[in-house]
Structures are given as C-alpha cells and as structure tokens.
Amino acid sequence: MTDHAAIIESTVREQLAKADVHEVRVREGEDFDGNPIYDVIVVADLRGVDIGKLTGLVRHTRHKLEPTQGADRFPMFRFLSPEDARERDAAIA
C-alpha cells in the first residue's frame, strides 16, 4: 500500500469510526476529463453513520494528503455494502 493509500484508509477509518468498515480500496486513476484522482471504494456497513461524516470525508482526506503532495489527486469515494462487494468481486473474477 502506498503512503497516500495508507493516509486515505486511516482517514476513512477515523472519520467512520462508528461504521463497520471492512475494507478500503485505493487506486490511482483519472476521471473522465483526464484529471488525476484516487478511486476509493469503501466496503462498510454504514447503517447509523451520521451523513455529515460521509460528506466531510473528501475535505478531511485532502487536508491529510496536503503535506505529502498527495492532494494533487482528488479522492472520489464509492461505498459498497459487504454483500455488494462480494457480488461485485465474484462478477469480476
């Protein structure tokens, strides 16, 4: 795991401490316009999580990435339930 991926994962786990986070997948990529992004898939049971924690995740992540020069990539978050992640992984395999 890259340093930036580790920062992203720790930020997700910190901000979503009340969620049952199973996994955080981070991949560097580009958006449709060719801009650099972090494609972040959070596999978690988010029932009961304050929506404010989800909406603030990008801001908190970019703030933690700034000192490492990782803020040049914008984090794009997707959330999957553990069941959906298993189905997705099985379909890909």
CATH number at residue 56: 3.30.300
Q: Of 19-23, 39-43, 88-92, give the lowest mean pLDDT range.
A: 88-92
Q: Residue 60, class by beta-carbon neighbours within 10 Å (0-12 exposed, 13-18 middle, 19+ buried)?
A: middle
Q: What angle do CA 81, 2, 68 make, to 5 degrees?
A: 110
Q: What is the overall mean pLDDT for the chain?
A: 92
Residue 25 has pLDDT above 80, yes or no: yes
DSSP string, 3-54: HHHHHHHHHHHHHTTTSEEEEEEEEEEE-TTS-EEEEEEEEEE-TT--HHHH
The yes-or-no verdict on residue 93 having pLDDT over 90 is no
Whether 59 contacts 47, CB under 8 Å: no
User: Quick one: pLDDT at residue 86?
Assistant: 85
Q: How confident is the model at residue 1 (pLDDT cuts 50, 70, 90)?
A: low
Averaged pLDDT for residues 44-65: 92
Domains held by the chain: number = 1
Give the per-residue pLDDT at 88.
Answer: 83
Domain of residue 22 covers: 3-92
Tell whether the model's pLDDT for residue 78 goes beyond 60.
yes
How far is Cα 2 from Cα 34, in angstroms, rounded to an integer? 22
Inter-residue contact 26 to 11 (CB < 8 Å): no
